Chains A and B, each alone.
Chain A
């Protein structure tokens, strides 16, 4: 079973600054990595897939990078609406399993 580990658990950043969130896989997932944003009381929203491709309608300040076992989500200039919990997710082809990281809470400093 592939385990996804996100760090840090909580990240405190001021509006306008850059935020860097990390996700590590216990074994290679190639580029099969997605990032989601979740706000309280809402469903998750897809931000990034294929490790670095922004989903439709996602602002350019969100970017993803990495491959293999190390991945990063960067938010270049934090807006007030960006403070939320972020999850990474990998997909394993066989047997079909999907694993999420435990999440990083991005809070206002």
Chain B
């Protein structure tokens, strides 16, 4: 059974840092594309970052230069290092498997339960 479990959220002051983790089971993180998606309270979904199976990484403009996505293959775990946090980064952060079809479609087929990050003084 595929499972994604996030952790590491919490309250942090503006300008601070936090590292989120996403432990996967039922599939191999390093063989898949993996993304982080966030949702501000009462708002819609916003894609944050993706790491390809080959290791390439990409970011939304809103977090570029501040967030870093990575993975630990030995732990089958995805990470999101968040630096220089701002109030507008307050959100539930979900990790999700980014499935690619041979036809070029991309979608998120498995999601974690999310972890809340609150940036406030």
Contacts and interface: CB of A to CB of B under 8 A. Distances in A.
Interface of A: 31-32, 34, 36, 38, 42-46, 49-50, 55, 87, 89, 91, 93, 95-103
Given A46-B107, A91-B105, A93-B104, A98 B35 contact: yes
Contacts of B50: 96, 98
Interface size bracket, B side? 20 to 34
B104 A43 contact: no
B44 A87 contact: yes
Nearest to B106: A91
B46 interface: yes
Contacts of A89: 45, 107-108
B47 A100 contact: yes
A98 B106 contact: yes
A100 B58 contact: no
A50 B44 CA distance: 21
B111 A34 contact: no
Given A32-B106, A34-B108, A96 B58 contact: yes
Nearest to B99: A49
Nearest to B97: A46
Contacts of B101: 49-50
A43 B112 contact: yes
Interface of B: 35, 37, 44-47, 50, 58, 60, 94, 99, 101, 103-109, 111-114
A97 B60 contact: yes
Contacts of B60: 97
Contacts of B47: 97-100
Contacts of A44: 45, 94, 108, 111
Contact of B111 (A43, A93, A95, A98): A43
Contacts of A43: 94, 111-114
Given A96-B50, A96-B58, A31 B105 contact: yes
Nearest to A32: B105
Contacts of A103: 44-45
B44 A45 contact: no
6 contacts: A34-B107, A46-B107, A55-B109, A89-B107, A91-B105, A100-B45
